[in-house]
């Protein structure tokens, strides 16, 4: 004896005779508001490569580390080599030319409870340092809400 079979339901967890519920999407923390180094900040969470840190109640610290690098520019080396054939003594004066290049990193640290993450951002001028400080001050205001 065979029994009439109904077609299999599209959802294996559905119960016959009960209307299917629409799937509930998980509520995420929202879109990324800004990026500070390799961290993405949303309205509720700070996304880091080491994991998420809650934004409310977090503390932010910024430290900038600068050093000046002195070097002989490439054009001075080329001019001294090219001029060595013509004016031997005077061409060596090009090697006295020095250029100072400011370089540094800005270290941004976010801490919430026992969770902490440090991001190091390479900078080449003071305007970049100011922009990072402004971004961190904005995120501090979001964390205090």
In the chain, domain spans: 34-69+101-144
Give mean pLDDT, residues 31-60.
89
Q: pLDDT grade, residue 23 (50/70/90)? A: very low
HSE value, Cβ hemisphere, 13 Å, CA-based, for 125: 1
Share of the chain above pLDDT 90, in %: 27
Helices (H), the chain: 74-83, 88-91, 126-144
């Amino acid at each position: 004896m065979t029994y009439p079979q109904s077609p299999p339901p599209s959802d294996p967890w559905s119960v016959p005779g009960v209307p299917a519920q629409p799937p509930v999407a998980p509520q995420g923390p929202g879109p990324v508001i800004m990026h500070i180094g390799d961290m993405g900040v949303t309205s509720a969470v700070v996304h880091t490569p080491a994991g998420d840190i809650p934004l409310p109640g977090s503390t932010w610290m910024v430290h900038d580390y600068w050093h000046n690098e002195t070097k002989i520019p490439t054009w001075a080396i080329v001019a001294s080599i090219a001029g060595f054939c013509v004016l031997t003594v005077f061409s060596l004066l090009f090697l006295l030319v020095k250029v100072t290049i400011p370089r540094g990193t800005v270290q941004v640290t976010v801490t919430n409870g026992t969770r902490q993450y440090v991001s190091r951002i390479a900078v080449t001028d003071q305007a970049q340092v100011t922009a990072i400080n402004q971004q961190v001050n904005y995120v501090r205001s979001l964390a205090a809400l």
